[in-house]
Amino acid sequence: MRETETYEIEITSPLGPLRIVGSAQAVESIDWNLDRASVTTDTADSCPLLDECARQLQAYFDERLTAFDLPVAPAGTNFQQRVWQRLMAIPFGQTLSYGQLAETLQPPTSPRAIGNAVGRNPISIVLPCHRVVGSRGDLTGFAGGLDRKEWLLTHEGAILC
């Protein structure tokens, strides 16, 4: 295994297939593999880090994990990186509105800019963009679909409007 090589595995989850992509150093993306009817874990093109990511995701879905401990390297602009870093600070089972998230950045920015950055989050679940909601607590925008966002928040015990 070379350290600069990119690997990928596909896993099943309670919400459908997920594709995990990364290197030996960091997870680069977790996306909803919506184009496939069924997927099984394939470690032929994997590495220990992606296998660990799959194990942690399974523990999360099995209610045995509330915080991920994985190196991540999402590709994005400096602004997106700052927003994604803030996502990791939203505690398990809690939500934050786009406006509240905007206020945590220095300097504060617009909720719309936050929404655009959150919407481009390439590492679903681990960078918990599902914990960002509308100003009234309503579920808005999620790459995996609002039904999955609701499932994730309910799974975490978040109070939904």
Active site residues: 129
Helix (H/G/I), strand (E/B), else coil: 22 = strand
Alpha-carbon distance of 161 to 38, in angstroms, equals 33
User: What are the Cα distances from residue 65, in Å, to 9, 62, 82?
Assistant: 21, 8, 25
User: What are the Cα distances from residue 153, in Å, to 8, 12, 24, 95, 133?
Assistant: 26, 19, 30, 8, 10
Q: Are 29 and 123 in contact (CB under 8 A)?
A: yes
Alpha-carbon distance of 113 to 36, in angstroms, equals 32
Q: Which two tokens stand for residue 76?
A: 């994005």
User: What stretch of H or E contains 97?
Assistant: strand 96-97
